Every structure is written in C-alpha cells, then in structure tokens.
Amino acid sequence: RADIEVLTLFELKIGGYEVFNAKFSEKTLNTILLEISLIYFSKKFL
C-alpha cells in the first residue's frame, strides 16, 4: 500500500521512530506533512 511506503520513506528520512515520536513544533510538523504529501502524490501520479 502506498501509505505504508510513504511512512517507511518518512521514517528513513528523519532517522527512525525516535525522531518520529519526538514532539515537533507546529511549523516543523506542517513541513513534514507537506513533504509526506509530496512524496505520496509523486509516487501515485508520476
């Protein structure tokens, strides 16, 4: 499934669960969500 692939890429990009479980500022979180969206749509449509 594409969402699982995106999550895997996301985990690799930020260095694993330790970073994933850390508290992000709202700005950082929005940036990460945007990057996930870009990865997802590029994999889905390109």
Look at residue 46 in the predicted model and tell me its pLDDT. Answer: 63
Tell me the C-alpha to C-alpha distance, in Å, between residue 40 and each of 9, 25, 30, 34.
10, 22, 15, 10
Q: Which long-range contacts (CB under 8 A, 24 or more apart) does 20-28 make?
A: none
Tokens of 15: 């260095």
Look at residue 29 in the predicted model and tell me its pLDDT. Answer: 73
Q: Nearest 5°: phi and psi at 34?
A: -65, -45
pTM, full prediction: 0.37
Q: Nearest 5°: phi and psi at 33?
A: -60, -40
Look at residue 31 in the predicted model and tell me its pLDDT. Answer: 83
How confident is the model over 1-41, as pLDDT tens digits?
566 666 666 666 655 455 555 555 667 777 888 888 888 88
Look at residue 33 in the predicted model and tell me its pLDDT. Answer: 82
Tokens of 29: 């979180």
**DSSP 8-state secondary structure symbol assigned to residue 1:** -
Look at residue 42 in the predicted model and tell me its pLDDT. Answer: 81
